[in-house]
Amino acid sequence: MKKIYSPDKADWKSILERPTKTVADIEAIVLEVFEDVKEKGDNAISKYTKRFDKAVLDNNLVSQDEIDNAKNQVANDLKGAIQIAKSNIERFHQAQKTSKVEVETTFGVECWQEKRPIQKVGLYIPGGTAPLFSTILMLAAPANIAGCKEIVLCTPPDENGNINPAILYTADLCGVTRIFKVGGIQAIAGMTFGTETIPQVYKIFGPGNQYVTVAKQLATKFGVAIDMPAGPSELLVVADESANAGFVASDLLSQAEHGVDSQVILVSTSKELIDEVEKEVEAQLNELPRKDIAAKAIDTSKLIFVEDDETALELIDEYGPEHFIVCTLDQEFYVQNIGNAGSVFIGNYTPESAGDYASGTNHTLPTNGYAKQYSGVNLDSFMKSMTFQKISKDGIQNIGNAIELMAEAEGLQAHKNAVTLRLKSLKE
C-alpha cells in the first residue's frame, strides 16, 4: 500500500482516483452486446454465455429440480446462518414502511401520497470468483416486503452450466419467481429488452464488475430504471491511536479480496498506526486463500496520514466511500458530520463484514463516488410514490381563481378553461 503523508489539498483528486476504467473505454463493447440481444434475443444470450462463461446451455431457466437438488447440497449450518441474516434484513427493511401521507392543503382540497410496489424487478447476482448469495438476501427480501409481483434473477453459470447451490437455495428462500443462468452484460441486456425466455423488467438491481455497471447505466437509455451505479467494491477506514491495527487490517483485506479492481484506503491521524496496519496487512494477506486477488487490490490502495480530524473528514467527504468505518476516540465527530458515504460502521467491533451479511442493513451501495448523490438500496428502492388529490365544490372555488391567473400568465388557455367551466357551472 502506498503511504501518503499530509497531502496538499490540490492533490486530493489524483490521490483519491479509483482504479477503474472510464465508461468510454468499455461502452462500445456493452453497446454491441445490447444491440445483439435486442435483435436476436436468446440466440445472442447463448452466444455470449459461451464466449464469456464458457458454458453451453440448452435452457437458461433454472428448473425446479435444480432448485430442489441445491437445497440438499447446502449444509444445515449455512442454511441456519442464511436464515438468521434473512430475519435481520427483513426486520430492518420492514421498519422502513411508511404510512399514507394525507393533508387538506386548503378547505375542500385533499392531497395524499401512497406507495406502490414496482411490479417487475430484475436482480443481478455476480458469480465469478465469489458466488454472492448474500446479495440475494439484500435484494429479494425487500422486494418481497415491498410487494413486487415478479422478481427475476440472473446470475452467471460455471463452465458446466451450474449455479452455486447457495445461490439457488437463497433465491428460493427469498421468493424469487424465476432464475436464469445468464451473467454479465448479456444478463442486463436480457432484462432490459426481454427475450423469448427472460422477461423485460422495470428496474434492475445488483452490483457487478465495470462492464455490468456500464451496462446498467446504458439500460436507462432504453426506459429501464436502475438502483444505482454500483461497481467494484471499496472501503475507507478512518482510525487513530485508539484503533486495533489488526482489526483495521482485516477490514481492509475483507474488501480487497472482492476483486483486483477493489480499492481500500486508511485515513489516520497517527503515523504509528499506519505503520502497524501496514505490517498487519502483510501478515494477514499471506494467510488468505484469495491472496493473489487481494494483493493486486492492495497495490492500488493507500495509507494516508492527515494532521487532524477536520482534515480527515473533508478528505473522506471528497472521496465519498461505499463503506466507511470509524475507529476513533471521537466517533461522534465523524458520525454527526459525514455527508458522503454509502454505509457507516462505528467502533472497533463493527466490521464491514457485518453489513455485508447479517446485521440487517443493505450492502448494495453506491461506489465510485456516487455516494455523493445516491442512497444505498432500501425498501423505497422497490416502490414508487404516487400522489392523489380530490377537490370538492368548495375546494375548486377556493383555489380556482389562482389556477386561472397562473395558467393565463403562462399562456395556457385550455388549462384556464378547465377551471373556468367548473366555476361557471357552480354559479348557475
Binding residues for Zn(2+): 255, 258, 356, 415
Catalytic annotation present for 322: yes
Could you tell me which residues are annotated as the binding site? 124, 186, 209, 233, 255, 258, 323, 356, 410, 415
Three state DSSP letters for 232-252: CCEEEEEECCCCCHHHHHHHH
264 closest CA partner among 252, 282, 254 = 252
Active-site annotation holder among 280, 323, 352, 363: 323
Q: How far is CA 69 from the centre of its chain?
A: 30
Query: What distance in Å separates the CA atoms of residue 12 and residue 4, rounded to the nearest whole number?
Result: 11
Give the number of residues written for the chain. 428
156 closest CA partner among 200, 107, 201, 206 = 206
Q: Could you tell me the maximum CA-CA distance found in the chain, to the nearest angstrom?
A: 88
SS3 content of the chain, % helix, strand, coil (to 5): 50, 15, 35
Catalytic annotation present for 93: no
351 closest CA partner among 203, 249, 283 = 249
- State the angle between helix axes of 393-409 and 413-427 in degrees (0 to 180), rounded to the nearest 10: 150
Could you tell me which residues are annotated as the binding site for substrate? 233, 255, 258, 323, 356, 410, 415
Q: 3-class SS at 343?
A: strand
Active-site annotation holder among 234, 280, 322, 352: 322
Q: 3-class SS at 31?
A: helix
Output DSSP code: residue 175. Answer: T
Q: Which residues are catalytic?
A: 322-323
